[in-house]
């Protein structure tokens, strides 16, 4: 078995070392004897082919970088939409997450999004910066991470990624964080999202394998003792 991972625009969307998430997917595949091929498209690349891609990763960035990336992404809007509607796995973090929706309105102007999911983001005064803990219906373990965003995201009736147990989440008010749409996860959780949350990583891998090989996949469990202890430490530290 083999999985192809595409890292989109790591030259610009790379806050907090979001790239570590790619390494995490690669390792967890490798430890199970599954081949992983990682390809990257930077803003300089002209080609764009999702036909044999199994997982797409888009990281986070400042408003300035997001604006540059937004134009590139819009050039490939139809390919990305077809991929998502065909159950392609996509994980988008913070700036990348905001660009999945209809728009991101900042004080400087409006960035048009990919319109993949019915959501929109507006910048408001003050940044939401904090550790964050979620309870997601998709996983037994709480999801832990770190958020830093000026945008507030309204996800309408979409399924959130999780309920906020600590931190701000989508807008600091709704009590929810991120979205799940088909096999897309959009989230404000930055940096080592997947190393900190192995169940999230395995969900992405499982969905990608099922889509590619057309059968239900039960991934071989790995020894996640250290990850579980680190996760529990954060939950105990912030959730009373
Ligand atoms: N520029 C966006 C915001 O501030 C996203 C930031 C990020 O990716 N950390 O809301």
Residue 237 has pLDDT above 90, yes or no: yes
Residue 17 has pLDDT above 90, yes or no: no
Confidence class of residue 139 from pLDDT cuts 50, 70 and 90?
Answer: very high
Q: What is the mean pLDDT of residues 138-155?
A: 97
Q: What is the mean pLDDT of residues 81-105?
A: 98
**pLDDT > 90: percent of the chain:** 94
pTM more than 0.85: yes
For residues 125 and 36, what is the distance between their CA atoms, to the nearest angstrom?
A: 42
Tens digit of pLDDT for each residue in 164-174?
999 999 999 99
Residue 47 has pLDDT above 90, yes or no: no
13 and 61 in contact (C-beta within 8 Å)?
Answer: yes
Asked which of 11-15, 86-90, 162-166, 187-191 is least confident by mean pLDDT, the reply is 11-15
Residue 15 has pLDDT above 90, yes or no: no
Q: What is the number of the ligand 1 atom nearest to the C-alpha of 16?
A: 9
Show the 3-state SS of the chain.
CEEEEEEECCCCCCHHHCCHHHHHHHHHHHCCCCEEEEEEECCCCCCCCCCCCCEEEECCCCHHHHHHHHHHHHHCHHHHHHHHHCCCEEEEECHHHHCCCCEEEECCEEEECCCCCCCEEEEEEEEEEEEEEEECCCCCCCEEEEEEEEEEEECCCCECCEEEEECCCCCCCCCEECEEECCEEEECCCCCHHHHCHHHHHHHHHHHHHHHHCCCCCCCCCCCHHHHHHHHHHHHHHCC
Q: What is the mean pLDDT of residues 191-199?
A: 96
Residue 18 has pLDDT above 90, yes or no: no
Which of the residues 7, 94, 149, 183 is marked catalytic? 94
Pick from 93, 94, 130 the residue to mutate for probing ligand 1's pocket: most ligand atoms within 8 Å of its CB: 94
For residues 184 and 176, what is the distance between their CA atoms, to the nearest angstrom?
A: 16
Cβ–ligand 1 contact at 151 (below 6 Å):
yes
| pLDDT value, residue 201 | 98
CA of 108 to the centre of ligand 1 (A): 14
For residues 6 and 204, what is the distance between their CA atoms, to the nearest angstrom?
A: 13
Mean pLDDT in the chain?
96
Cβ–ligand 1 contact at 179 (below 6 Å):
no
Q: What is the number of the ligand 1 atom nearest to the C-alpha of 59?
A: 8
Q: What is the mean pLDDT of residues 88-103?
A: 97
CA of 61 to the centre of ligand 1 (A): 6
* Residues whose CB is less than 8 angstroms from the CB of residue 64 and which lie 6 or more positions away in sequence, other chains included: none
Confidence class of residue 16 from pLDDT cuts 50, 70 and 90?
Answer: confident
| pLDDT value, residue 20 | 94
CA of 210 to the centre of ligand 1 (A): 32
Task: For residue 94, indicate whether it is catalytic.
Answer: yes
Q: What is the mean pLDDT of residues 214-222?
A: 93
Cβ–ligand 1 contact at 60 (below 6 Å):
yes
**pLDDT > 70: percent of the chain:** 100
């Amino acid at each position: 078995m083999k999985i192809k991972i595409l890292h989109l625009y790591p030259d610009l969307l790379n806050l907090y070392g979001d790239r570590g998430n790619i390494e995490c997917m690669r390792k967890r595949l490798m430890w199970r004897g599954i081949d992983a091929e990682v390809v990257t498209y930077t803003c300089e690349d002209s080609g764009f082919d999702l036909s044999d891609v199994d997982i797409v990763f888009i990281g986070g960035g400042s408003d300035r970088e997001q604006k540059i990336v937004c134009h590139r992404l819009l050039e490939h809007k139809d390919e990305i939409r077809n991929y998502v509607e065909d159950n392609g796995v996509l994980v988008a973090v913070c700036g990348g997450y905001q660009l999945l929706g209809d728009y991101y309105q900042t004080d400087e102007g409006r960035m048009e999004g990919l319109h993949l999911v019915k959501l929109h983001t507006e910048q408001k005064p003050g940044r939401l910066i904090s550790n964050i803990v979620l309870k997601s219906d998709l996983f037994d373990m709480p999801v832990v991470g770190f958020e830093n965003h000026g945008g507030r995201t309204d996800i309408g009736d979409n399924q959130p990624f999780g309920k906020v147990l600590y931190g701000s989440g989508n807008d600091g008010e709704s009590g929810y964080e991120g979205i799940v749409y088909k096999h897309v996860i959009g989230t404000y959780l930055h940096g080592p999202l997947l190393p900190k949350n192995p169940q999230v990583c395995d969900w992405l891998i499982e969905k990608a394998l099922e889509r590619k090989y057309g059968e239900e996949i039960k991934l071989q469990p790995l020894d996640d003792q250290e990850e579980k202890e680190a996760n529990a430490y954060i939950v105990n530290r912030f959730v009373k």
